[in-house]
Structure 1
Amino acid sequence: MTARVALEIAVDSAAGARTALEAGADRVELCQALAATGGMTPSGATVDAVLAVAGDPERVAVLVRPRAGGFVYAREEVALVAADIAEVVRRGAGAVVVGALTRRGAVDRSALERWRTAAGEADLVFHRAIDTVAEPAALVDDLVACGVRRVLSSGGAARSIDGRAALAALVAAASGRLQIMAGGGVRVEDIAALRGLGVDAIHLSARTPSGDTAPSGPGGGGPGYDVTDGGIVRRAALALRSRA
């Protein structure tokens, strides 16, 4: 029997989490400032609200990222992430999503091992920092050694569908030792092909503009914001579960 492929939706609020889970998502990845920065650590209150909506800690992964920009961190940043991980896990999250590299593009094992300790029994997920290196599959052994449970990757491409060769190489290198999750620019029409690579999960944001045109005022940014689109999530779930 073919293993079930999970559907994960990136969200930034309890409302988004409810929409995603009710529309067929298996779990959510919670962050804040997704559109503006690619995702940052959410507030504790937001973590609590999403966990309450999900009703199951295994359905919630929380991004812990201290700033925008690259993934080479100073020791103070590593310590901050460790503290944030401990707090997120204390609140009940089933997984934390992190990523750290050395200046040479290798896994920062020292940071990951510290974060693994901070995470305790929660799953450790490595995010798309892996897509900044030339050969993502070359990092798999170090990720396994550091206790990483799953990896999010687009195969180094802007869109996962264009990174199929690298994603297939990740699946082969992992060989069941950790889960490979395809994510990055995923559209519903890409899902069948991505599933065919043997990945363990598909990740997308399913965002749409809120339609709010009220001005935000000086210093508040542009009008409107993104929300989770339940229709996109439902179509993604259908595409993932289809036998076609």
Structure 2
Amino acid sequence: MLREFCAENFTDVPAAIEAGADRIELCDNLAVGGTTPSAGVIGVATVYAHEHGARVMTMIRPRGGDFVYGSAELQMMQSDIETACRLGTDGIVFGCLERREHGFWLDLSAIEALVARVRWMQDQRDWSGVPREFDREDQHIDITFHMAFDELAPEDQFEAIDVLVKMGVTRILTHGGPAGTPIDGNLSRLRELIAYASGRLTILPGAGITYENATRIAGELGVNEVHGTKIVRLA
């Protein structure tokens, strides 16, 4: 089972990898749900992770609050994607929404632009410096659509999966329900999302999954990836 540790900057990255984290979601400012870490943090964390057999997913989020971004913020996100990719990140994490009269929907133009920037950087990368175990045949930089997904109405989430698959998203990080709800109460919904995705992309369960319940929850859901800030036991 792959354990993705959500890290605030570099501080806990070494301990998390030593404790069994196979992948790091690298953020800043977890108090607001995570924002883009600095270039220095990305560079050091990525080198360290690769030297110790782990991968890094870099959060691209210019601020806390909602996931509706203006044109200037999208320019920032594109620039930050370029920086993270140049520094060797294995993947990018973002989520963009637009307001509707009764809630939110995917901001298709923003997502398309950010995915295109990732793929452009993927084509520019010098893969000779990527550790062999990560140098996959398709030389692919992962894209995770984060828990902005949980802001969508449940009846819209299946369509959103279809759209994100077509746009080339690798995985969706989701709690399976509103923030703050117990993870055990969302297992039924997570099973529905996993079944609907049907391997076209990965549904990555997170929030409320810890080193204490990760094995049980992964088994109940039939998944082999889990995410959280307490997904491994730190000393």
1:143 is aligned, of 164, 176, 187, to 164
Unaligned runs of 5+ in 2: 123-140
- The residue that corresponds to 1:69 in the other structure is 65
CA contact (8 A) 1:131 1:153 kept: yes
- Structure 1 CA distance, aligned partners of 2:10 and 2:212? 27
Deviations 1:5-42 (A, max 9, x none): 311001123231111111111111000111x2110100
- The residue that corresponds to 1:202 in the other structure is 226
- Structure 2 CA distance, aligned partners of 1:84 and 1:204? 23
- The residue that corresponds to 2:207 in the other structure is 184
Deviations 1:147-176 (A, max 9, x none): 100111000232332211221111011110
Q: CA RMSD in A?
A: 1.9
- The residue that corresponds to 1:217 in the other structure is none
Unaligned runs of 5+ in 1: 208-227, 232-244
- Structure 1 CA distance, aligned partners of 2:158 and 2:24? 25
For 1:132, the aligned partner's letter is E
SS of equivalent to 2:11: helix
Aligned length: 206
1:50 is aligned, of 45, 50, 59, to 45
- Structure 1 CA distance, aligned partners of 2:38 and 2:229? 19
- Structure 1 CA distance, aligned partners of 2:22 and 2:12? 14
Deviation for aligned residue 1:199: 2.7
CA contact (8 A) 2:17 2:54 kept: no
- The residue that corresponds to 1:85 in the other structure is 81
SS of equivalent to 1:24: coil
- Structure 2 CA distance, aligned partners of 1:191 and 1:137? 25
CA contact (8 A) 1:153 1:160 kept: no
CA contact (8 A) 2:206 2:228 kept: yes
- Structure 1 CA distance, aligned partners of 2:161 and 2:197? 6
- The residue that corresponds to 1:230 in the other structure is 234
- The residue that corresponds to 1:32 in the other structure is 28
- Structure 2 CA distance, aligned partners of 1:14 and 1:76? 28
Deviation for aligned residue 1:229: 5.0
TM-score, scaled to structure 2: 0.81
1:15-26 matches, within 5 Å, as 15-26=11-22
- Structure 1 CA distance, aligned partners of 2:184 and 2:204? 13
